[in-house]
Amino acid sequence: MNIINLLTYPFVQRALICGIAISFCAAIIGVILVLKKYSMIGHGLGEVGFASLTLAMALNLPPLYVSIPLVIIAAFLIMLISQKKGESGDITIALVSSGALAVGVIITALTKGFSVDVYNYMFGSILAMNWSDVILSVILSVILIVVYMVFYNRLFSITYDEKYAKTCGINVTFYQFLISLITALVVVLGMRLMGTLLISSLIVFPAIIARKLTNSFKGMVALSAVLSVICFIVGVMLSFMLNFPTGACIVAVYIVLLLITINFGELRV
Amino acid sequence: MSILEVKNLQTSYNGHIALENINFSINEGEYVCLVGENGSGKSTLIKTIVGLHKKDSGEVILNENLENVSYLAQNNLTDLDFPATAKEIIMTGVQRHRVLPFYTKKDYKDFEEICNLLGIKDFVNKRIGDLSGGQRQRIMLARALIRKPKMLILDEPFSGLDINITKELYELLAKLNVENNMTIIMATHDLDEVKQDNVRVIGLAKKILFDGNISKWRRGAD
């Protein structure tokens, strides 16, 4: 089966449209998270997403209606605890993620009959998206990209030097929560395609690869977005052709690209 | 006219008092050096003034719009691998209180001016981590000065820098103070490079031990 034939399938079209929008958003917010040393927040929120999905299934509710508020609350809590208590982000994320995973597993154990769905949620499925998911993902992605562009200078300032930004009168807390909100939405939108265990790769890998290739923040954001979309498309195609989980295939493509980048040294432009 | 007033200020770190009973006011155009041993509270005072450290009690009254105040921290960039050019970093200084996704023509004009003033044009497009310590601190000074502040607050800005660069930067501060009437408040443990006579010294050891002209301070030191 060739690629052109593949593109005629509606579920492939849905996965591609959703995935391109989400991977673009994940990549640009990932730059900030990686540079602010919050790389693991995507993983932590993915676990919260897993717990919320199992809860939604147990209660027979639409997954996104449960996941979106719960993941946003978790993202705000992680940021709040890190700021107020002065704990490093990683500690808070580790606590939240293991706690959420435990809750998800307990709900799964208590509720019979959705082990296949749980597997798909954990590792991603190309069949997970319907047209209403596509519309929601595209609308939210466009909003996130516009917000990111409008606040780009402020977000860069806070990412580079939060203390200096504060002395300039910038409301750092507001932007921290904005970053949390964008991250939470990216995780929720992407987790059914990528899997709750692998959604963080969509956030982290493009930024790490782009960081090795650029000298500027703007360059890193742009390259990260482009690489993310390319890797996503290649990963989805592989996933379909090899009948492997989507998330795992995309991560495999990222790993190959990262190894190539490391192997060829730093080619900063 | 008073640009900054500090009244009965008390601050602490982890329950230990760092500063107590601090009272002073600074007039527009003054050049003030906060001096003291390590742990005397000079950096804490600077951080409290710029809003990076919470006060326990007392008042810090800034009679100037925050956009006219600029801050330069110690020369300590923690992440040398941060992907940002010197230009990107300098431009964060122009943001003031507006939210814009782009910079204006005036911002770029100010950028050119500050590059010429500080002689940094040759390396503004380089990654910040690829610059020497002296070059990096010039970039940070450019970021602080690009918005043409009326008051510049510096926290041991030149510690660890080459003596020639330090001299040059002290001369620049003196020039900004005299020619632009810029108020300068600087925490430092070394007054040797401060050459002019119109400098006010505030000596700290958790409390104010001295407040007067630099020549009087030097006579006391002798």
pLDDT in tens, A121-137: 777 776 767 888 889 88
What's this model's pTM, rounded to 2 decimal places? 0.88
- CATH number for the B1-64+150-165+181-222 domain, one of 3.20.20.70, 3.40.50.300, 3.30.1330.10, 1.20.140.10? 3.40.50.300
- The separation between CA A214 and the C-alpha centre of its own chain, rounded to angstroms, equals 22
Report the Cα–Cα distance between both ends of chain A, in Å, rounded. Answer: 38
pLDDT at B7: 95
Query: Which of the residue ranges A21-25, A50-54, A66-70, B160-164 would you say has the lowest mean pLDDT?
Result: B160-164
Residue A269 has pLDDT above 60, yes or no: no
Question: Is B13 an 8 Å CB contact of chain A?
Answer: no
Residue B90 has pLDDT above 90, yes or no: yes
Q: Which of A35, A152, A214 sits opposite B101 (nearest CB)?
A: A152
Instruction: Note which residues in 175-194 of chain B have CB less than 8 A from chain A.
Output: none
Give the residue on B whose Cα is nearest the Cα of A147.
B101
How far, in Å, CA of B145 to CA of B118, rounded? 10
Going by the DSSP 8-state scheme, the letter that residue B125 receives in this structure is T
**Mean pLDDT of the B103-114 span:** 91
Given an 8 Å threshold on Cβ–Cβ distance, is B127 in contact with A268? yes
User: Alpha-carbon torsion B118, B124, B128, B129, what sign?
Assistant: negative
Question: How many helices, marked H, and strands, marked E, lie in chain B?
Answer: 6, 9
Residue B182 has pLDDT above 90, yes or no: yes
Instruction: Note which residues in 48-87 of chain A have CB less than 8 A from chain B.
Output: none
Q: In Å, how far is A126's CA from the nearest CA of chain B?
A: 34
Helix axes A217-242, A152-160, angle to 10 degrees: 100
Between the alpha carbon of residue A4 and those of residues A17, A64, A221, A265, the distances in Å are 16, 31, 30, 35
pLDDT at A254: 95
Query: Which of the residue ranges A84-98, A158-172, A239-253 would you say has the lowest mean pLDDT?
Result: A84-98
Place B222 in a pLDDT band, splitting at 50, 70 and 90: low
Q: Name the residue ranges covered by the structural domains of chain A.
A: 3-263
**Mean pLDDT of the A26-37 span:** 93
Q: Name the residue ranges covered by the structural domains of chain B.
A: 1-64+150-165+181-222, 79-149
Mutation target for A interface from B92, B96, B98, B155: give the one with most A CBs within 10 A: B92
Model ipTM value:
0.88
Q: What digits encode the pLDDT tens for the residues A47-69?
A: 898 899 888 888 888 888 888 89
- CATH number for the A3-263 domain, one of 3.40.720.10, 1.10.3470.10, 2.30.30.110, 3.40.50.300? 1.10.3470.10
Q: Which of B71, B79, B92 sits opposite A156 (nearest CB)?
A: B92
Contact by Cβ (8 Å): B69, B153:
yes
Residue A3 has pLDDT above 80, yes or no: no
Q: What digits encode the pLDDT tens for the residues A57-106?
A: 888 888 888 888 999 999 988 888 877 766 566 788 888 888 888 988 88
